[in-house]
Amino acid sequence: MSGAAAAEQLIEVDGVEKVFSVRRKAGRLRRVRHEVRAVDGITFQVPRGEMVGYIGPNGAGKSTTIKMLTGILVPSGGRLRVAGIDPARERTRLARRIGVVFGQRTTLWWDLPLKDSYELVRRMYRVPDAVYRANLDRCIELLDLGPLLSVPVRQLSLGQRMRGDIAAALLHDPEVLYLDEPTIGLDVISKAKVRAFLREVNAERGTTVLLTTHDLTDIEQLCRRVMVIDHGHLVYDGGLDGLRAAGDGERTLVVDLERELPPIEGVPGARTVKVEGPRQWLAFPAAQSAAPLVAAVAERYPLVDLSVREPDIEDVIATLYAGGRVPEGRAAADPA
């Protein structure tokens, strides 16, 4: 984001890679070693206060990236800084300044009531009493945790547990919050609650958020910037709008005519992709304005109604994944 040039870069990732050496059975006794480049030289920066979506298909390297950013895994190469700290070397010092939520597994103590887990977090992170009280009260209110505090974590439903986990990750006022699939398996209401809360934390606290997800609605509702990773490479880094344009880049003009007619022809830059009774679908490049198109159709056909559909983000990403190509416009390896 060009305007953020002056802002402090809270997360700096420079040519980071992670290579796993995997041994696989080949024949009865023989094992073959081969390298898996889970993260293959990615570079990006996240300024303080930004909320970034990090998406990619399974096994693309999302979780590996998060694990390197938290200090769980040590990178095989490249340079990495979070709040000026090298996560691999100073894991425990970094731990006080970040919050992490794994959707797939809890970071709370499984057999303990939620409030005991929180108490332990307070003491382990040495959170000052006043800060702790204020943060906890706010989380209890916004995440509806009141009735859950005395319930052991293992008895919580997935949605309740997730809310509990998010609160635990924020009690010590972290500067960065990593969320690895925070809405996975949640029902619609829980998802909405979690999203609203994250939006507020980001807006009020200025907490920097990096979130991975398979649910693109999370991205659409929360993030202005999105990064796409595939096969360990960053294939897109930019705004959500740019991502739409970067896909196959086609918008659709849906027109309702007065009556059934043969497919519309002769409109420059558009082609009819579907006809259903009086309704017809025309695809045209996303970059092109719809206005001349509408004028051209209206001039020659009895037009009753019309609408323009943006390219579906899921389709766009599917094309990105399938093609594995770097879209034009914003080069992924070079965040402005």
Q: Which residue lies nearer to another protein by CB, 18 or 195?
A: 18
Rounded distance, CA 276 to CA 38, Å? 46
Q: Minimum CB separation from another protein for residue 63, in Å?
A: 9
Q: Is residue 119 involved in binding another protein (CB under 8 A)?
A: yes
Rounded distance, CA 17 to CA 225, Å? 22
83-112 footprint of another protein as x/- string (CB under 8 A): -----xxxxxx-xx-x-x-x-xxxx-x-xx
58-87 footprint of another protein as x/- string (CB under 8 A): ------x--x--xxxxx-x-----------
Q: Which residue lies nearer to another protein by CB, 89 or 133?
A: 89
Q: Is residue 215 involved in binding another protein (CB under 8 A)?
A: no
One-letter identity of residue 300: R
Q: Minimum CB separation from another protein for residue 17, in Å?
A: 13
Enclosing H/E stretch for 25? strand 9-25
175-204 footprint of another protein as x/- string (CB under 8 A): ------------------------------
Q: Minimum CB separation from another protein for residue 320, in Å?
A: 26
Q: Are strands 98-102 and 176-180 parallel, antiparallel or unpaired?
A: parallel
Q: Is residue 34 involved in binding another protein (CB under 8 A)?
A: no
Q: Which residue lies nearer to another protein by CB, 119 or 144?
A: 119
- The answer for residues whose C-beta is within 8 angstroms of residue 309's C-beta and 6 or more apart is 251, 252, 253, 254
> In this structure, is the dihedral angle defined by the CA atoms of residues 66, 72, 75 and 79, taken in order, positive or negative?
positive
Task: Copy the structure tokens of residue 20.
Answer: 């796993």
Residues in the interface with another protein (CB under 8 A) total: 34
Alpha helices in 129-279 (DSSP H): 129-143, 158-170, 188-200, 216-222, 240-246
Q: How many of the other CB atoms lie within 10 Å of CB of 108? A: 24
User: What is the three-class DSSP state of 252?
Assistant: strand
The contact set with another protein (CB under 8 A) reads: 20-21, 64, 67, 70-74, 76, 88-93, 95-96, 98, 100, 102, 104-107, 109, 111-112, 116, 119-120, 123-125
